[in-house]
Structure 1
Amino acid sequence: MEPKIIREGYLVKKGTLLNSWKAVWVVLSDDGLEFYKKKTDNTPKGMIPLNGAKLTNPCQDYSKRQLVFKISTLKNQDHFFQATHLEEREAWIKDIKRAISCLQGGRKFARKSTRKSIRLPDTVNLSELYVLMRDSDNGIKELKLEKEKKIYNHCFCGSTVVDWLVSEGKARNRPEGLMLATGLLNEGFLQPAGELSKSGAEGGTESVLLDQPEAFYYFADSGFFCEGYSSDEDSIMKEEFRGAIIKQGCLLKQGHRRKNWKVRKFILRDDPVYLHYYDPTRNEDDPLGSIHLRGCVVSAVEYVPDAKKYDVDGNLFEIITSDEVHYFLQAATPEERKDWIRAIQTVSKTGK
């Protein structure tokens, strides 16, 4: 029987021989992970067997890169992957873990377990905890905090995190709350903002969250930005970055000059409404470009002018800006294309 495909999409992968990171198309089946140079390729560049494999998440081998996880095979071969955002990494990790577990137990892969999960009293699901912290009503409030002539937007302090964990019954006392908060920081759910919190995170082999009102942090997928006098750590952000992040992920984008297609990470923000795109292989805060979406028209298309069919086929959509600049993009699946079109249409009407 052919292996069952569980998940597929773009991830950034470290080269096996060279220390280079490239965006690849990854297909997870119930017995292995295949990766392709392009989505349209018929032959994979490589295959990672999952039988007996070990998963390391988060992976701290490359401290300058966030959202990295490692798969180690039975033959002691390490493969490093990087996701573009937190939800994406968690979705891949969940399915890879279950695929490995099913292979070990001789069971078929199933997204939902038929058994009731048994949790030890000291076991905490940090992903679920993060979702609760982000709740708009009962979670941690994102504020505008000021320190040393700098304003930190969509931020909160370390003591607030510990306060919330204790008050919500997630921790019995402050030391236990600090331990949980540090775990959230180590896994990339929380990020340090400002020199004090960054010094705590970089002070040792493991990051440490500071239980102090002067130590600032932000959610990994928030609309955080700092403004004021810039330094190497905190740069002045433009007006177009003020909006909250509505959606993010990888898409194929056609170049304006050469008409070639490349994988780009896209971040959609509202108020003001911008779609920024980045090179997913680089850890850079500055985008390659931005698309102002106010008054734009976005629609699904079946073909792209100046594009060869074998290069891209299916799940295409077009954005036409108010000043009549055309952008052609390709999503991984029909459902993803619908989600992007719906999100862009919504913010283009409501944002400024």
Structure 2
Amino acid sequence: MEPTMIREGYLVKKGTVLNTWKVLWVVLADDAIEFYKKKTDSSPKGMIPLKGAALTTPCQNFPKKTLVFKVSTTKKQDHFFQATHLEERELWIKDIKRAISCLESGKRFARKSTRRSIRLPESVNLSALYVLMKDQDTGVKELKVEKEKRLFNHCFTGNTVIDWLVSEGKARNRAEGLMLATGLLTEGFLQAAGDLSKDAAEKGAECAFVDQTDALYYFADSGFFCEGYSSDEDVIVKEEFRGAIVRQGCLLKQGHRRKNWKVRKFILRDDPAYIHYYDPTKGEEDPLGSIHLRGSVITAVEYVPDAKRHEVDGNLFEIITSDEIHYYLQAATAEERKDWIKAIQSVAKSGK
């Protein structure tokens, strides 16, 4: 029988020979992972058999790269992948684990129920716990904290996290809460913000989380940013990043000068209304560019004037800014294009 395709999308993969990270189109079947140089390629660049394979997550081989997971084959070959955001990593990991499990038991792939429950300390579901922590009404409150001549936005202190875990009955005491918080940190759900919390996390101690008022953390997919007081210009630039993240992921983008198409990671923020794009193989410190969406027009298009048909086809959409600058983008699927357009249109209307 032909293998069943389970999931596909853009992931960043480390080269097996050279120590370089590149964006590839990855397809998960029920018996293997195939990866392509481009989405439109007819034959894969490589294939990883899943029978007898092992999945490692979180992967600690690259301290400066978060959201990395490792797939090891029976021939002792390690393949490292990096997702662009937390939710994406969780979806890939869940399906790869299930595919490996089904191969071992001789069953056909079928997703388990998505119903989740929290029963601590017997069973811990960090994904579900993270969702509860982010609840705007009952979760951990995000604050602005001024420290060391810097202003940390959308963050909270280490002791606040432990207080919440204990008060909500997710941990029986502070020691147990510290173990849970360390798990959330090492899995990438929480990120260290200040010097104290970063030092503890980088040392890789058994309890990398710090239960103190001086230790700062933030949610992995929040609108966190830190600003200094070096100049008024810095504050104006950082204003773009104040908004909470509405949507993020990879899209194909046409360049303005050479008109070539490259995969970029996009992060859409709500207020002020900006979408920033990045090189997915690098960090999020310096975006390659930003689009101010207030007053923009976002529409689905069937073709791009300067694009060759074989280069890009289908699931295209266009952003026309208030300054009449045109941006052409391509989503992986029709459903994804619809979701991006809807999210960007909403932000363009409501954001500043």
* TM-score bin, normalised by smaller chain: over 0.9
Per-residue displacement from partner, 1:82-141 (whole Å, max 9, x unpaired)? 001000000100111111111111111111259999989533111111111111111111
Q: Does the alignment pair 1:160 with 2:160?
A: yes
Could you tell me how far 1:202 is from its partner in structure 2?
1.8
Contact 1:9 1:27 (C-alpha < 8 Å) held by counterparts: yes
Task: List gaps (5 residues or longer) in structure 1.
Answer: none
SS of corresponding position for 2:76: coil
Provide the residue aligned with 1:71 in structure 2. Answer: 71
Provide the residue aligned with 1:32 in structure 2. Answer: 32
Q: Does the alignment pair 1:105 with 2:105?
A: yes
Structure 1 distance, partners of 2:306, 2:173, is 63
CA change 1:236–1:162 in 2 (3 A) is farther
Structure 2 distance, partners of 1:348, 1:120, is 42
Moved more, 35-44 or 135-144: 135-144
Q: TM-score, normalised by structure 2?
A: 0.95
Contact 2:118 2:124 (C-alpha < 8 Å) held by counterparts: no
Q: Does the alignment pair 1:254 with 2:254?
A: yes
Could you tell me how far 1:31 is from its partner in structure 2?
0.6
CA change 1:113–1:142 in 2 (3 A) is closer
Could you tell me how far 1:24 is from its partner in structure 2?
0.2
Could you tell me how far 1:309 is from its partner in structure 2?
1.1
Give 4+ residue runs of structure 1 displaced > 3 Å after superposition: 113-121, 204-207
Could you tell me how far 1:322 is from its partner in structure 2?
0.6
Per-residue displacement from partner, 1:265-285 (whole Å, max 9, x unpaired)? 000011111110000011241
Provide the residue aligned with 1:311 in structure 2. Answer: 311
Contact 1:226 1:237 (C-alpha < 8 Å) held by counterparts: no
**Residue correspondences, number:** 349
Matches within 5 A, 1:166-315: 166-204=166-204, 208-229=208-229, 238-315=238-315
SS of corresponding position for 1:13: strand
Could you tell me how far 1:156 is from its partner in structure 2?
0.5
Could you tell me how far 1:228 is from its partner in structure 2?
2.1
Provide the residue aligned with 1:339 in structure 2. Answer: 339
Identity %: 77
Q: Does the alignment pair 1:56 with 2:43?
A: no
CA change 1:349–1:37 in 2 (3 A) is same
Contact 1:50 1:100 (C-alpha < 8 Å) held by counterparts: yes
Task: List gaps (5 residues or longer) in structure 2.
Answer: none
SS of corresponding position for 1:51: coil
Moved more, 197-206 or 128-137: 197-206
Q: TM-score, normalised by structure 1?
A: 0.95
Letter in 1 for 2:248: Q
Contact 1:251 1:263 (C-alpha < 8 Å) held by counterparts: yes
Letter in 2 for 1:313: D
Letter in 2 for 1:196: L
CA change 1:115–1:336 in 2 (3 A) is closer
Provide the residue aligned with 1:151 in structure 2. Answer: 151
Could you tell me how far 1:152 is from its partner in structure 2?
1.1
CA change 1:114–1:189 in 2 (3 A) is closer
Letter in 1 for 2:57: N
Letter in 1 for 2:322: S
Structure 1 distance, partners of 2:212, 2:120, is 30
Supply the RMSD in Å over aligned alpha carbons. 2.1
